[in-house]
């Protein structure tokens, strides 16, 4: 049976289909639980959440499902910035903030939530699976997580990163292809050198890595899942396809924009966060393409553009929202997560001639 893969067995799930963690509000407890209840693995994108909010969301997920689920965090990364660079970044954002009737200054920078405290909640709340991106947890944290029987899923965008994850005793690896929506998980070298398509990345990893590989990027239907299995993947992680599910928490305008796409209209940009990410092209990404040298490192830029993103939401303006999406966004459908899972399973049963 196609679904009985090492990944499905390791995660104790019926179908080797993971709903991607999507920080920023898409992966509501309802979406996470619906995916897990339908036989996949739901994941909470908790990277931007305060520890208390994570605790509340985990408890809600546990009320809604008794199936396994994952919580995902961002591994903190190094960044450098000077007061002059912050000033320059604010000036470059001026035109957009003025149009939205808000102001941005250096005072708008806030530190992101404490990773150590976020991780503490995951351990205290007995979360069964921890997934992460942008790096590798410290050896001490890996031991702590393993001592608490928490399975670990890392993210790689190159073979070198995947080898390092395996060497560090990570249990499974998401192979994030160039097609993927959201931030690049790259943590070794520069992101532009790690833009590898899934058809190249998955077999590279499958040939050299002995732990399950999870294909991720542009996967929207049964055909793409079957292709991922052929490439050596043991399962898939799908983000964009779940963004337009009824349980997803994204802004209605973002959802409407996704549902109205007719072809790939995505772009890789650092404009919103300072870290390379794929999303729907809009006025802000086009405008900031002329100010590339003013964009500060993540998480500074992310913090500086927060007001712009918030104001865009309150004004329902897709011109200034960050609308992360993969290259196959035009295949999005507005359905319940359970129905999406069912249609994927039905397509795979036809492809593999199983029932
Ligand atoms: C809106 C959005 C937010 C995302 N946030 C996260 C995140 O918090 N953590 C993470 O590991 N990956 C995140 N990703 C990347 C996904 O894990 C995955 O690689 C990607 O969705 C796959 O491409 P697809 O969107 O075409 O399916 C995000 C993707 C999207 C679209």
Taking each helix axis from N to C end, the angle separating 337-351 and 29-37, rounded to the nearest 10 degrees, works out to 30
Q: What is the DSSP letter of 188?
A: S
pLDDT of residue 109: 87
Task: Choose among 196, 234, 203: nearest CA to 218.
Answer: 196
* 232's tokens: 């050596």
CA-nearest residue for atom 30, ligand 1, is 182
CA-nearest residue for atom 29, ligand 1, is 182
What is the Å distance from ligand 1's center to 183 Cα?
7
- Please tell me the distance from the alpha carbon of residue 173 to that of residue 152, in angstroms, as a whole number: 9
Upper half-sphere CA count for residue 255 (Cβ side, 13 Å): 16
- Please tell me the distance from the alpha carbon of residue 329 to that of residue 293, in angstroms, as a whole number: 29
Mean pLDDT of 236-255: 98
Mean pLDDT of 335-354: 97
Structure confidence by residue, pLDDT tens digits, 174-215: 999 999 999 999 999 999 999 999 999 999 999 999 999 999
- Please tell me the distance from the alpha carbon of residue 81 to that of residue 197, in angstroms, as a whole number: 32
> CA quadruple 72, 47, 224, 342: dihedral positive or negative?
positive
3-state secondary structure of 19: strand
Q: Residue 272: CB partners within 8 Å, gap ≥ 6?
A: 279, 284, 285, 301, 302, 305, 309, 322
Mean pLDDT of 171-176: 98
What is the Å distance from ligand 1's center to 81 Cα?
26
What is the Å distance from ligand 1's center to 87 Cα?
30
Mean of per-residue pLDDT scores for the chain? 97
pLDDT of residue 88: 96
Mean pLDDT of 73-78: 95
pLDDT of residue 326: 98
Between residues 299 and 108, which one has the greater pLDDT?
299
> Is residue 355's pLDDT more than 80?
no
Mean pLDDT of 217-222: 98
Q: Is 41 left (phi over 0), alpha (psi -120 to 50) or beta?
A: beta
* 76's tokens: 């903190």
Q: Helices marked H in the chain — which ranges?
A: 6-11, 29-37, 51-64, 83-99, 115-124, 139-147, 159-167, 198-208, 222-231, 240-243, 252-259, 283-288, 300-304, 306-314, 337-351
Tokens 């809604």 found at: 64
CA-nearest residue for atom 21, ligand 1, is 239
CA-nearest residue for atom 1, ligand 1, is 324
What is the Å distance from ligand 1's center to 98 Cα?
30
Is residue 32 a contact partner of residue 42, using CB atoms and an 8 Å limit?
yes
Mean pLDDT of 157-163: 98
- Give this prediction's pTM: 0.98
Does ligand 1 come within 6 angstroms of the Cβ of 36?
no
Task: Choose among 55, 25, 185: nearest CA to 127.
Answer: 55
pLDDT of residue 107: 87
> Is residue 281's pLDDT more than 90?
yes
- The alpha carbon of residue 214 and the mean position of all alpha carbons in its chain are separated, in whole angstroms, by 13
């Amino acid at each position: 049976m196609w679904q009985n893969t090492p990944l499905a067995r390791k995660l104790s799930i019926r179908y080797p289909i993971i709903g991607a963690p999507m920080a920023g509000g898409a992966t509501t407890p309802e979406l996470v639980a619906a995916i897990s209840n339908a036989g996949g693995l739901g994941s909470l994108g908790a990277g931007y959440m305060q520890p208390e909010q994570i605790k509340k969301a985990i408890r809600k997920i546990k009320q809604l499902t008794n199936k396994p689920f994952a919580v995902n965090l961002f591994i903190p990364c190094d960044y450098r910035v000077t007061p002059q660079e912050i000033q320059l970044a604010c000036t470059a954002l001026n035109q957009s903030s003025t149009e939205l009737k808000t102001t941005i200054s250096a005072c708008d920078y806030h530190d992101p939530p404490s990773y150590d405290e976020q991780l503490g909640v995951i351990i205290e709340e007995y979360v069964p699976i921890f997934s992460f991106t942008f790096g590798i947890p410290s050896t001490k944290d890996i031991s702590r997580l393993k001592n608490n029987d928490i399975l670990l899923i890392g993210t790689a965008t190159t073979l070198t990163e995947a080898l390092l994850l395996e060497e560090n005793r990570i249990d499974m690896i998401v192979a994030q292809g160039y097609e993927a929506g959201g931030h690049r998980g790259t943590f070794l070298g520069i992101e532009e050198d790690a833009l590898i398509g899934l058809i190249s990345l998955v077999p590279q990893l499958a040939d050299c890595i002995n732990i399950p590989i999870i294909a991720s990027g542009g996967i929207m239907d049964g055909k793409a899942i079957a292709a991922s299995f052929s490439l050596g993947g043991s399962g898939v992680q799908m983000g964009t396809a779940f963004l337009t599910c009824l349980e997803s928490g994204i802004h209605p305008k973002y959802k409407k924009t996704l549902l109205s796409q007719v072809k790939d209209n995505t772009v890789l940009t650092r404009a919103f966060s300072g870290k390379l990410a794929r999303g729907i092209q809009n006025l802000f990404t086009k405008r900031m393409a002329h100010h590339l040298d003013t964009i500060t490192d993540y998480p500074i830029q992310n913090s500086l553009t927060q007001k712009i993103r918030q104001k865009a939401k309150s004004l329902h303006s897709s011109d200034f929202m960050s609308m992360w999406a993969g290259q196959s966004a035009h295949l999005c459908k507005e359905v319940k997560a359970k129905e999406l899972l069912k249609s994927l399973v039905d397509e795979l049963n036809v492809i593999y001639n199983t029932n």
